[in-house]
Amino acid sequence: MEAEATKSGREITGVFYHPSFSRRSYLTIGTRLREFPDALKPLQEKYSNIVVFESKPVEEELILKVHSPELLEGVKRDKLCATAWHSAGGVVEATEKVYGEDIRNAFCFIGAGGHHAGKRNFWGFCCFNDVVLAIQNLNDKYGAAKIAIIDTDAHHGDGTRELIRDNSAVLHYCICSNDYSSEDGLKIDVSFVGKTPDEYIELVRDFTELARSFEPYLIFWYFGHDTHEGDYGDIGLTMREYVKMADILIGLAEEICGGRIVVVLGGGSSPRIATDSCLAIIEKLALAGLGSKEVNK
């Protein structure tokens, strides 16, 4: 599946995908990604800097540095976690490639989510904590670097928060139904309850100010389209808000960390919304790699 890279690494948008994600997904127990990978072809024809990588399985050695043996055994027994190894493995590889500037940015499709997976427990359609595994892999290979995470899934990233709670090199900003701020100001929840779509976008802009002060080397955007009108976490957002978020967050990465952003697909069930939102974000990532002024800075 992996295409030959015809552009320099600093122009490439890596898209990480495995065929199992379109056949079986824990997040939908079905086929929300049923239109992929064919749905990517028009974008690949339009933007030569989009390169598709087939996600490799994550290694157990890395899993056990983040999760307990009991969690690992539980995931092995759960048939709905069949895609978990390739889901987490794609995020780990994408992050390492972006960190090392082999590619500029990345979009990671997944079949099983990550942000509800903690040290010993997994739930909520999540199996292995993909983002924390990716951070652990970077720490093992390159030493600790500042990382910022923004989570715009409809639900609180409780597993991620548990695993990075005491890590002062990680800024974790979660837009959910909670309000919370740690003493050091690096672990923050902001509530979308009662907010209009425009007010939600302002919460995303608040993250940009925190990130500028924090000065991360790389940004994770945990994107869930479950927030869309009609999806299972419906908070009234539409494609309009997703495009705005993409402009803001990709533009932020261009401004403060050399374009290094990894977008990880989170929750959502609608095939139509999945296709439209993922393609819109991937296009914005590709434009950033080409230096387009269409990405707001």
The position carrying tokens 């540095």 is: 65
CATH 3.40.800.20 fits 9-289, yes or no: yes
What end-to-end distance do the CA atoms of the chain give, in Å? 33
176 DSSP assignment: E
Q: Tell me, what's the pLDDT at 10?
A: 85
pLDDT at 26 (0 to 100): 59
Which tokens belong to 222?
């945990």
HEC-encoded secondary structure of the chain: CCCCCCCCHHHCEEEEECCHHHHCECCCCECCCCCCCHHHHHHHHHCCCEEEEECCCCCHHHHHHHCCHHHHHHHHHCHHHCCHHHHHHHHHHHHHHHHCCCCCEEEECCCCECCCCCCCCCCCCECCCHHHHHHHHHHHHHCCCCEEEEECCCCCCHHHHHHHCCCCCEEEEEEECCCEECCCCCEEEEECCCCCHHHHHHHHHHHHHHHHHHCCCEEEEEECHHHECCCCCCCCECHHHHHHHHHHHHHHHHHHCCCCEEEEECCCCCHHHHHHHHHHHHHHHHHHHCCCCCCCC
Share of the chain above pLDDT 90, in %: 89
Q: Which residues pair with 147 in a beta bridge?
A: 170, 218
pLDDT of residue 3: 43
Query: What is the model's pLDDT at position 23?
Result: 82
pLDDT of residue 7: 56
Helix H, strand E, coil C: the string for 4-49 is CCCCCHHHCEEEEECCHHHHCECCCCECCCCCCCHHHHHHHHHCCC
pLDDT at residue number 1? 52
Residues of the chain with pLDDT under 70: 1-7, 24-30, 292-297
Are 95 and 134 in contact, with CB atoms under 8 Å apart?
Answer: yes
pLDDT of 28 reads 52
Note the pTM of the prediction, 2 decimals: 0.95
Whole-angstrom CA distances from 26 to 65, 121, 167, 266, 287 are 24, 16, 29, 11, 31
Q: How far apart are CA 125 and CA 29, in angstroms?
A: 9
Q: What is the pLDDT of residue 202?
A: 98
Take residue 6 and report the two structure tokens written for it: 């015809």
Domain spans in the chain, listed from the N-terminal domain onward: 9-289
